[in-house]
Amino acid sequence: MILKSKSAVVTGSTSGIGLAIARAFAAQGADIMINGFGKPEDIEAARAAIEAEFGVRCLHSPADMTRGDEIAAMIATAEKEFGAVDVLVNNAGIQFVSPIEDFPVETWDKIIAINLTAAFHAIRAVVPGMKARGWGRIISTASAHSLVASPFKAAYVAAKHGVVGLTKTVALEVATHGVTVNCISPGYVWTPLVENQIPATMASRGLSREQVINDVLLAAQPTKQFVTPEEVAAIAVFLCSPAAKQMTGANLSVDGGWTAA
C-alpha cells in the first residue's frame, strides 16, 4: 500500500469525485480527513464506511471553503490528529451558468473563493510541514475548463484556469523539497449531481434521456462516455506513487478526448 502510515486531507469529499479519492487513498493505507456539507447522517455513513472497510482513521471537517481561517484550522486539526498532512487534494467546487452581463457579483466571488482561493489557503497551510518532512503530494481537481472555455461559465472557467497557474507556480517553489504539485482535469464525470440534472433537462428541452446524455452532456466528449469518479481517483493515487516522483507542475486530462480537438 503506497500510502501506508500517511495521511490525506480531501476537500469537497462527502460525495462524488472527492469521496472516490478519499476511499481510494484509504484503500492504500492513508488516514483521511474528508470535508464538505450534506446530511449529517450521510456524512457519518461515508466516514464510518471508510474506517470499517479500510481499517484507517477517517475524520470529517465541516470547514467552509469560502473562509481562509476555517481552511487553516482544518489543516491544523488534521496535523494534530494524524501527526502530518502528507497529501492534500483540493477538490471542492461549485458551478453557475449565466451570461456575463447578468452574472451575479456575489456568485462570481463565491465561485472564485471555493474553486480557486480555497486551494491557495490549503496549500499555504500544508507546504511548511511537507517541506520540513521532505515529502508531500498536492493535487487539485481542475477541469477540461482549465484548458478550454464554454459560454456562460465565466467564473468557473476563470477559476479552473487559475488552478492550473497556481499548480505550476507552487510546483516550481517546492521542487527541491520532495513535494510534487499537480492537477487533474476531468471532463463530464458521472456523479449523482449530474444524474439528478437529467430529468429536469428532459422536461425543459423536450428530449429523451438518451438525447440529454449524448447531445447535451456528452456533446464535447468524443468517446461519448462519462468519466467515472473512480477513474479520477486512480489518477490521484498514481500521482502519490513512486512512479510519479518526477511528475510535478502537470495538468492531466481525463476528458474522453474533449480537449484533443
C-alpha cell at 47: 466516514
CA atoms within 13 A on the CB side of 156: 18
Q: Which 8-state DSSP code applies to residue 187?
A: S
Q: Is 188 a catalytic residue?
A: no
- Torsion angle defined by CA atoms of residues 31, 110, 127 and 73, in that order, rounded to the nearest 10 degrees: -60
Q: Report the candidate in 137, 119, 16 with the shortest Cα–Cα distance to residue 65.
A: 119
N-terminal to C-terminal alpha carbon distance within the chain:
37
Residue type, 207: L
C-alpha cell at 97: 451558468
Q: Report the candidate in 53, 41, 40 with the shortest Cα–Cα distance to residue 32.
A: 53
Q: 224's torsion region: left (phi>0), alpha (psi -120 to 50) or beta?
A: left
Beta pairing class for 7-10 and 58-61 = unpaired
* Alpha carbon 106 to chain centroid, angstroms: 23
> Which residues are CB-contacts of 67 (< 8 A; sequence separation ≥ 6)?
none
C-alpha cell at 171: 510546483
Given 25, 82, 156, 188, the catalytic residue: 156
d(C-alpha 56, C-alpha 109), whole Å: 37
Residues identified as active-site: 156
